[in-house]
């Protein structure tokens, strides 16, 4: 695991740390080619320079974000914001359904929007895959 991501996880409470470590393990397992770094103060994984998946601590949960998640056609992922981002929130590691997470990560690899060039395109997203 990326040392900065591990440091982020280690700063969390025991229950949140378990969630973060579980998410990071599964993301690294199913997206081994992704670059992982701390971006806007939380762990994010990138493919070809585009953010794909990340998580961060909210007041009462850990929120897992998929930048293209609204394109996944998955009922458990909730719309977040005005672009293509979708989320799911966890308050315990036992809530993570690893089969769902694996499926979402596979979709994240296949369904991508060009966030890397969103500023250049003045806020317009273009589908890459």
Residue 9 has a CB neighbour count (10 Å cut-off) of: 22
What are the residue boundaries of the structural domains of the chain, listed by start? 3-110
Q: What is the full per-residue pLDDT of the chain (129 aa) written as tens digits? A: 899 999 999 999 999 999 999 999 999 999 999 999 999 999 999 998 899 999 999 999 999 999 999 989 999 999 997 778 999 999 999 999 999 999 999 999 988 766 666 556 556 655 666
Angle (nearest 5°) at CA 41 between 40 and 46: 60
Strand order through the sheet with 50-58: 35-39, 42-47, 50-58, 61-66, 86-90, 78-79
Assess contact for 110 and 47: CB atoms under 8 A: no
CATH architecture assignment, domain 3-110: Alpha-Beta Complex (3.90)
pTM comes to: 0.88
């Amino acid at each position: 695991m990326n040392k900065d991501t591990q440091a982020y996880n280690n700063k969390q409470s025991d229950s949140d740390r378990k969630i973060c470590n579980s998410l990071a393990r599964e993301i690294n397992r199913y997206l081994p080619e992704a670059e992982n770094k701390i971006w806007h103060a939380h762990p994010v994984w990138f493919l070809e320079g585009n953010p794909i998946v990340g998580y961060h601590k909210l007041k009462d949960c850990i929120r897992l974000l998929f930048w293209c998640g609204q394109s996944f056609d998955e009922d458990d992922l909730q719309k977040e914001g005005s672009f293509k981002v979708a989320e799911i929130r966890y308050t315990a590691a036992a809530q993570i359904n690893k089969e769902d997470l694996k499926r979402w990560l596979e979709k994240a690899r296949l369904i991508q929007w060009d966030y890397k060039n969103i500023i250049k395109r003045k806020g317009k997203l273009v589908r890459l895959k």
